[in-house]
Structure 1
Amino acid sequence: MFFKYPRIVIQFCTKCKWTLRASWYQQELFQTFGESIGEIALQPAESGTFQILLVVDDNNTTVIWDRKLDGGFPDSKVVKQRVRNVLFPEKDLGHVDRSSKAAMAKEGVTKEGVTKEGVTKEGVTKEGVLAGESSRTHQTVKAAVCLNDNGECVECNQD
């Protein structure tokens, strides 16, 4: 099968009713990156799954967001910044970046783009992890209620 690259795949649980959420992220990414992205696909997945994957070629896939690992659902600005950081590091995201830069200035980012805690202006620590991972997520009540103690989707397992 022939795919245009780069492509983004949004995998989501239909039983958790995350189709509209996945469509919203798709629309936000199309609005920001337009024809720079070859495809943004919506892909139903296993119970409780919500992932945004960036596929650069047949052998190179990057996880942009994983609901289970990152804790909930991101603001669209975070998804856009992560996609940009991988594909188009020099691209300015306009107001998305300006609000982030203002927040970083407030937190004491130096001229070199590094805070006293060792975080760059892009929000990446020296270990290569985005700073403030837990504070930038938005977990809905639906997502929190949907999981049992084993991390499995309660609604999906009711078949």
Structure 2
Amino acid sequence: MRAAWTAQELLTTFTTDLGEVALVPGVGGVFEVRLGAETLWSRKAEGGFPEPAHLKRLVRDRIAPGRSLGHSDGHKTGEISGSEAESDG
């Protein structure tokens, strides 16, 4: 289920940039995100699933480096940007 949700997130974010997202059945909890021959994320190597914003940045950095991801860009969970911190008074 998580793989299908992740695929949909990538297709929704990169509507015109990705030609295809393929889900390949596996066993043993395999979860990898590849772009061509390059592995962008491996659950085995990284020790879990990626945060959606992080995965989107990884994909964006390879297929459309100049593109903004809006609110997903440059923020890690729990961080507040300088302008947001200043507006809190």
Aligned-pair CA distance for 1:104: 8.3
Cα 1:98/1:51, change in 2 over 3 Å: closer
SS in 2 for 1:41: coil
- Larger RCO (alpha carbons 8 Å, 6+ apart): 1
Q: Within 1, Cα distance between the matches of 2:21 and 2:29?
A: 20
- Cα RMSD between the aligned structures? 2.1
Select the structure that is richer in helix.
Answer: 2
- 1:32 is aligned with what amino acid? T
Unpaired segments of 5 or more residues in structure 1?
1-19, 56-60, 107-159
Q: What is the deviation of 1:86? A: 1.1
| Separation in 2, partners of 1:35, 1:105 | 29
TM-score (structure 1 length as normaliser): 0.47
Residues 101-132 of structure 1 show CA distances to partners (whole Å, capped at 9, x for unaligned) of xx4867xxxxxxxxxxxxxxxxxxxxxxxxxx
TM-score (norm 2): 0.80
1:13 corresponding residue in structure 2: none
Displacement of 1:89 in angstroms is 0.9
Is 1:42 aligned to residue 23 of structure 2? yes
Rg larger in structure: 1
State the identity %. 39
| Count of residues paired in the alignment | 81
User: In the alignment, is residue 95 of structure 1 matched against residue 71 of structure 2?
Assistant: yes
1:95-114 equivalences in 2 (<5 Å): 95-100=71-76, 103=79
Unaligned runs of 5+ in 2: 83-89
Does 1:31 pair with 2:12? yes
Query: Per the alignment, in what secondary structure is the counterpart of residue 74 of structure 1?
Result: coil
Show the counterpart of 2:58. 82
Residue 48 of structure 1 deviates from its aligned partner by 2.7
**Which protein has the bigger strand share?**
1
Opposite residue 66 of structure 2, the aligned amino acid is: E
